[in-house]
Structure 1
């Protein structure tokens, strides 16, 4: 029931839409992704006096808008552009899952304070230069494990399948996820941070990086991150995860490839891309979702 179809992969130096040769720019760096990451620290610093939830919301929306504009100017595939009905669907899920994230975070933070965990923990006194990469790695570990499990468990897959329904990837449908999927990701990300007592500043910086990466790896953009693919997630890597070929649909990590590298699920084929994206054969999102929300 969970098997996939098996078309061959497509070379990245060909147009994925027509199969014809394209200019060398497909071999250049994915500059919009790099520029977005470079702009994140000064933007966050400029908003340092704002409440963290407002910083996350504003920079998240700004990042999404920037990536969608970049997709219009430097698309990998023109037929992967988001259309009107898809934008309406994705906008609805953006609002819904933002609410789910907020409520999940509020609940976990309240429980941490009531249990005496707030402001205490092994990570509280770490130098930010050590605390931030550790927070990013731990913030990715829980979602990575649940993501991998969701591909193995029929019960979890029926919720996670919604994210895999689109047959094209772009920044807008990065937010297409079942609310339960969004809740378990948020909980798995926050729990280690709260239990280990990371400072509010470190948690904010880590959350900003994970949020931006979650959008950028879905973007329909030309180019590669080159050697950086071994350090951070990219669209070039994440497209393999959405492949309809089971043997290559790995890369369960989003922001960083560390856990895939350690657990043997890292797929990196420079110069190539999956030929088709989409769902497992014979699966579908929960039928009780409205028709407009099924991908």
Structure 2
């Protein structure tokens, strides 16, 4: 029974909550404001599942970061709500309508997710290669445990930059407000799954969806070893970029996570907001563990 639950947890979580949002906003024409309590319910389910079936029980224990992570989540989701509220204003400003508004709502949402996924993935990829973008993105990589709220732990400026790369092109095509609202909700649900501490094993579907079993390797602290698995929703872009990576036999722990060259990266909320604008001490990246060296060598030799 447990194996069955862990196999189906991620797809049921994603399609269950996003399907509910799609039904309510897209077909019942309900208020998008109800997506906020639905997101709170999803976060509650995520936390309960993490404590019931943890990938690493230590990831459930606060490292003095719980209050900070709540602040990150509240600020960033408030900014998301504010940006969604501006969608009708942008729609009134754009004189053309290239978006296929006659399509069924669910199909419009799939198109929006695919477009946002490509834009955010490319911006994420650039954030590991452009110095000033990395300084903003490093806040997200400073975590030393993986659990749902990590997905909402971002510097607000970097979140805005990712949104410009992922969503602004869709808005300029005439993305309708209801689709934009459900898209933002779907991204938040996916971020919960990407960083989840649930010991999920989604099988074949997990090879194509950017869920926690793959995304955990993106948070490796061993220098460039973490420059893998950039995708937001799907792994197809990583396969095309040559950055797809998996080591199913390796179990990550807190010792594997964080920024190896900056082990003393600020841990408080105010310090993390200011960190991109300060000169912080830099060291050498720690050596890759033997288990990962062998898997990495095998993957990149194929």
TM class, shorter-length: 0.7 to 0.9
Q: CA deviation at 1:202?
A: 3.6
Q: Residue by residue, what CA displacement relative to the aligned partner does 1:128-150 show, whole Å, maximum 9, x if unpaired? A: 45433221110112211111111
Distance 1:287 1:273 in 2: 24
Q: Structure 2: how far apart are the matches of 1:171 and 1:287?
A: 18
Q: Which has the higher contact order (CA 8 A, sep 6+)?
A: 1
**Partner in structure 1 of residue 243 of structure 2:** 265
Distance 1:55 1:187 in 2: 25
Residue 108 of structure 1 contacts residue 191 of structure 1 at CA under 8 Å; is this kept in 2?
A: no
Q: Is the 8 A contact 1:165 1:294 kept in 2?
A: no
Work out which of the residue numbers 237, 252, 275 in structure 1 matches 2:214: 237
Q: Would the aligned equivalents of 1:169 and 1:239 in 2 still touch at CA under 8 Å?
A: yes
Aligned-pair CA distance for 1:76:
0.8
User: Which residue of the partner structure matches residue 190 of structure 2?
Assistant: 213
What is the alpha-carbon root mean square deviation over aligned residues?
A: 3.0
Q: Distance in 1 between matches of 2:171 and 2:93?
A: 12
How far off its partner does 1:243 sit? 0.9
Match of 1:17 in 2: none
Aligned 8 A contact 1:161 1:285 in 2: no
* Unaligned 5+ runs, structure 2: 276-302
Tell me if the contact between 1:89 and 1:293 (Cα under 8 Å) persists in the aligned partners: no
The answer (yes or no) to whether the contact 1:244–1:277 under 8 Å persists in 2 is yes
Which of 23, 32, 45 lines up with 2:23 in the alignment? 45
How many residues matched? Answer: 269
Q: Distance in 1 between matches of 2:206 and 2:14?
A: 14
Instruction: Give 1:250's match in structure 2, choosing from 228, 234, 239.
Output: 228
Alignment partner of 1:111 out of 71, 80, 90:
90
Distance 2:140 2:15 in 1: 28
Q: Does the Cα contact within 8 Å between 1:68 and 1:172 map onto a contact in 2?
A: no
Q: Would you say the 8 A contact 1:260–1:266 is kept in 2?
A: yes
- Give secondary structure in 1 for the equivalent of 2:129: coil
Q: Does 1:158 align with 2:138?
A: no
Measure, in 2, the Cα distance between the counterparts of 1:127 and 1:196: 17
Contact 1:101-1:186 at 8 Å conserved across structures: no
CA 1:25–1:270 in structure 2 vs 1: closer, same or farther (change >3 Å)? farther
Q: Is the 8 A contact 2:139 2:272 kept in 1?
A: no
**Which structure shows the higher helix fraction?**
2
Aligned to 1:21: none
User: 2:88 and 2:249 mapped to 1: Cα distance?
Assistant: 44
Q: Is 1:278 aligned to residue 255 of structure 2?
A: no
Aligned equivalent of 1:177: 154
Shift of 1:157: 1.1
TM-score by length of 2: 0.77
Instruction: List gaps (5 residues or longer) in structure 1.
Output: 1-23
Q: Which moved more, 1:159-168 or 1:222-231?
A: 222-231
**Separation of aligned partners in 2, 1:216 and 1:112:** 31
1:167 aligned to 2:144?
yes
Query: Are the aligned partners of 2:50 and 2:198 in contact in 1 as well (CA < 8 Å)?
Result: yes
Q: Does 1:121 align with 2:98?
A: yes
Offset of 1:248 from its aligned partner? 4.7
Choose from 58, 77, 84 the match for 2:37: 58
Distance 2:262 2:198 in 1: 30
C-alpha spacing 1:55/1:271, structure 2 compared with 1 (3 Å): farther
